[in-house]
Amino acid sequence: MASLTIKPGGPLQGTVSVPGDKSITHRAIILSALAEGESSISGYCKGEDCLNTMRTFQAMGVQINEQPDQLRVLGKGLWGLTEPDQPLDCGNSGTGIRLLAGLLAGQDFFTVLTGDASVRRRPMGRVVKPLREMGATIAGRKGGELAPLAITGSRLRGIAYTAPVASAQVKSALLLAGLYADGATSVTEPRRSRDHTERLLRYFGIPLQQEGCSVTLPSRQTGGWPAKDIAVPGDLSAAAFFTVGATLVPGSDLTIANVGVNPSRTGLLEILTEMGADIRLDHRGEQAGEPVADIRVRSAGLRGIRIGADRIPQMIDEFPILCVAAAVAEGETFITGAEELRVKESDRITVMASELRKMGAVITETPDGLRIQGLGGKRQHRLRGARCDSYGDHRVAMSLAMAAVLADGPTRIDDVACIETSFPCFEDKLSKLLTKS
Ligand code: S3P
């Protein structure tokens, strides 16, 4: 298992780009595969998660030509997918497997969905249960709670589903199933999760109604939709590591170019600003129905903050890097209502507490979050170089790498091959930024 050793460094200066948005790339592949004709997806995320989704569609008969700067997808229409002759492997991607479960429930063929050890531990009941209410035939380990999932395509009916958790994966799975259902499909969430599926469906011309935390897709789509080119913005969740790094390393002034700034994703930027960060959005624009901007970050001292359940969905994937910011801020940060973090690629509450503690952070774990006593940013109170483990979680690995940049000596992070799932070239980009100074 590969490891990464990071020496303290910085400042972070200049302009950097990040990979295309992972969430949008999954959806772009799915909806362009169902379109009629050829779509190009430029700026796509080349992480393993999205490549696995691409391979599942190739296995279902969709021609996808993978070029360095774009994917060319020859869509086969709403009913054009064909039965794959072996299980579809979604790798590490919870998004891949859950969205595909929804899409495949309404096909006229049989599929098996599986993934790596982490995905096979993650809860699937949250999509299987409502899909069964729609008429889906899905079997799986522990009654369908765990993958592999075996799906016998069935005739579906639309339902009005009230989800117990705010989850874009659940909402998206049901909307994709809804494309094949008789009657409208509506999903109501306790809080609004990211809305990339809704935006991309609208971009392809499919009408949706949004009211508060509810979204409704009309009865099944008969006509399908024509192909359309999609330019994927940079991934805010990838930009988050450099945003926190540039905030915390004194003397930094970094621009992260062309990043998606969908308000359902920018919770971290708002929280950091409230903590005292100097973050500005320049050159705002729009790509494929998604807002984009350059993020300019200059170093600043941070103060601790209280974060409750209402703010978690907009920063769900940025929790690990927020923990790093809180660990060196002035004063206490108290995060509650974040129990969803326990069922991500790793249990991010336990893992971030244990790994940052190795670096000298003062952290107490609670059932639904963390209490972090910031070190206060003073030189004599810096994080310590240490030997840490990512537990196979890409966002933990990259968050620890940024913590390492701030430490008083080298830090070794074990098990970092997982970074490939979302951010190929992370190490290269980080070391270039650090050696520029
Ligand atoms: C994602 C939704 C989020 C997020 C995940 C990507 C998506 O999960 O954590 O990394 O692309 O829909 P939940 O919707 O389950 O919270």
Q: Are both 222 and 333 inside the same structural domain?
A: no
pLDDT beyond 80 at 377: no
How many domains is the chain built from? 2
Residues 153 and 246 in one domain: no
Same-domain check for residues 358 and 408: yes
Q: Which residues line ligand 1 (CB under 6 A)?
A: 23, 95, 167-169, 172, 193-194, 316-317, 340
Q: Are residues 279 and 406 in the same domain?
A: yes
Please indicate, yes or no, whether residues 36 and 108 belong to a single structural domain of this protein.
Answer: yes
Output helix, strand, coil percentages for the chain, rounded to the nearest 5. Answer: 35, 25, 35
Q: How would DSSP label each residue in 286-299?
A: EETTEEEEEEEEE-
Spacing, Cα 95 to ligand 1 middle (Å):
6
Mark which of 231, 257, 288 sits at the end of a domain.
231
Q: Tell me the C-alpha distance between 278 and 243, whole Å.
A: 10
- Residue pair 287/299 in contact (Cβ under 8 Å)? The answer is no
The 10s digit of each residue's pLDDT in 266-311 is 999 999 999 999 999 999 999 999 999 999 999 999 999 999 999 9
Between the CA of 169 and the centroid of ligand 1 the distance, in Å, is: 5
Helices 168-178 and 125-133, interaxial angle, to 10°? 30
Q: Which domain holds residue 45?
A: 22-231
Q: ∠43-49-52 over CA atoms, to 5°? A: 100
Distance from the alpha carbon of residue 209 to the mean position of ligand 1, in angstroms: 21
- Pocket residue to mutate for ligand 1, from 167, 200, 232, most atoms within 8 A of Cβ: 167
Residue 378 has pLDDT above 70, yes or no: no
Strand partners, 70: 42
Average pLDDT over residues 6-34: 96
> Residue 82 — pLDDT band, cuts 50, 70, 90?
very high
Angle between helices 22-33 and 196-203 (to 10 degrees): 40
pLDDT in tens, 360-375: 999 999 999 999 999 9
Ligand 1 center to 44 CA (angstroms)? 17
Protein residue whose Cα sits closest to atom 15 of ligand 1: 167
Question: Which residues have a catalytic role annotated?
Answer: 317
> pLDDT tens-digit profile of 38-81?
999 999 999 999 999 999 999 999 999 999 999 999 999 999 99
- For 214, the enclosing helix (H) or strand (E) is strand 214-217
- Give residue-wise pLDDT tens across range 406-433: 999 999 999 999 999 999 999 999 999 9
Read off the pTM. Answer: 0.98
Among residues 184, 211, 231, the one where a domain terminates is 231
- Among the three residues 172, 199, 231, which one is the final residue of a domain in this structure? 231
> Which of 50, 118, 169, when mutated, tests ligand 1's pocket best, judged by the most ligand atoms within 8 Å of its CB?
169
What pLDDT is recorded for position 220? Answer: 75
Judged by phi (left if over 0) then psi (alpha if -120 to 50, else beta), residue 356 lies in alpha
What is the Å distance from ligand 1's center to 11 Cα? Answer: 32
- Whether 437 shows a pLDDT value over 70: the answer reads no
Q: Are residues 83 and 160 in the same domain?
A: yes
Q: Which atom of ligand 1 is nearest to the CA of 22?
A: 11
Give the tens place of pLDDT for each residue, 120-157. 999 999 999 999 999 999 999 999 999 999 999 999 99
Nearest CA to ligand 1 atom 5: 95
CA nearest ligand 1 atom 10, residue: 317
The amino acid present at 290, given as its one-letter code, is E
98 with 177, same domain: the answer is: yes
Residues 203, 350 share a domain: no
CATH code (residue 134):
3.65.10.10
CA of residue 194 to ligand 1 center, whole Å: 8
Would you say residue 27 has pLDDT above 70?
A: yes
The packing angle between helices 94-105 and 168-178, to 10°, is: 20
214 and 241 in a single domain? The answer is no
139, 259: one domain: no
Nearest-atom index, ligand 1, CA of 197: 12
193 C-alpha to ligand 1 centroid (Å): 8
Regarding whether 210 and 112 lie in a shared domain, the answer is yes
Residue 185 and residue 309 share a domain: no
The pLDDT, as a whole number, for residue 256 is: 98
pLDDT at 1 over 70: no
